């Protein structure tokens, strides 16, 4: 059975059974709008981020919060994005104050607190599925990649001329989209841009990878399909 989480501009999150659309649970407890969420690897926890500056872990069956990440050692601004690692109990969140936190769901530990540009709002975070890398990007147009083993900044990718609205990983490559109307493909290991893809007439809002291609959705009311290798 596939279960989906829904975040809203209210302080609650809901889960539904995807095939039937049956309502399953409501999670209430945040002090501000819930902006992001997702299932942790084992499916036994749900993580949600909120404008109240906290990330909560929930029991999907009972609807009760099992842990809350918050306070001075955590992000000081509103939580804007969240990603769950594909093969570990790690998760990461980004905030309006330019901070990215690496968290562990099983031990409830703040493993690292990464600083980006002071003026930056972090819009998107993502884990590499094949390497121990975490990427984040936002309003300053730069993409930061950290090594989650050494907890050091591995590379800084520069090229976008406006806010990066979303990034995703495809193997060791990063695909990023921006308000500057472009999509870029980067080699996350080498730290260089391999393709710049154009065609949209307005800001890019979402991106999904599928095999050797990826799809972009834009404020120009169109969806485009690009090859990751640029061909």
Q: How confident is the model at residue 1 (pLDDT cuts 50, 70, 90)?
A: very low
Backbone angle region of 21, left / alpha / beta, with phi > 0 → left and psi within -120 to 50 → alpha? left
Compute the distance between CA of residue 116 and CA of residue 140 in angstroms, rounded to an integer.
10
Q: What angle do CA 66, 68, 70 make, to 5 degrees?
A: 170
What sections of 109-182 are H helices per DSSP?
Answer: none
Strand 46-50 relative to strand 34-39: parallel, antiparallel, unpaired?
Answer: antiparallel
pLDDT for 15: 58
Per-residue pLDDT reduced to its tens digit, 103-150: 999 999 999 999 887 678 999 999 999 999 999 999 999 999 999 999
Contact of 205 with 222, CB cutoff 8 Å: no
Computed over its alpha carbons, how large is the radius of gyration of the chain?
17
Whole-number average pLDDT of the chain: 90
């Amino acid at each position: 059975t596939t279960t989906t989480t829904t975040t809203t501009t209210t302080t609650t999150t809901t889960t539904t059974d995807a095939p039937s659309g049956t309502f399953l649970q409501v999670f209430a407890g945040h002090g501000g709008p819930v902006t992001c969420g997702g299932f942790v690897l084992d499916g036994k926890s749900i993580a949600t981020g909120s404008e109240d500056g906290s990330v909560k872990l929930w029991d999907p069956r009972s609807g009760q919060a099992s842990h809350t990440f918050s306070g001075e050692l955590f992000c000081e601004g509103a939580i804007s994005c969240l990603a769950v690692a594909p093969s570990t109990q790690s998760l990461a969140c980004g905030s309006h104050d330019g901070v990215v936190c690496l968290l562990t769901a099983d031990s409830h530990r703040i493993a690292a607190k990464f600083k980006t540009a002071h003026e930056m709002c972090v819009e998107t975070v993502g884990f590499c599925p094949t390497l121990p890398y975490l990427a984040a990007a936002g309003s300053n147009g730069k993409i930061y990649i950290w090594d989650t083993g050494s907890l050091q900044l591995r590379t800084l990718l520069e090229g976008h001329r406006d806010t990066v609205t979303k990034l995703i990983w495809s193997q060791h490559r990063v695909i990023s989209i921006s308000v500057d109307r472009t999509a870029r493909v980067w080699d996350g290991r080498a730290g260089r841009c391999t393709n710049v893809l154009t065609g949209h007439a307005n800001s890019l809002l979402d991106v999904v990878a599928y095999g050797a291609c990826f799809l972009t959705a834009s404020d120009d009311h169109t969806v485009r399909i690009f090859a990751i290798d640029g061909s």
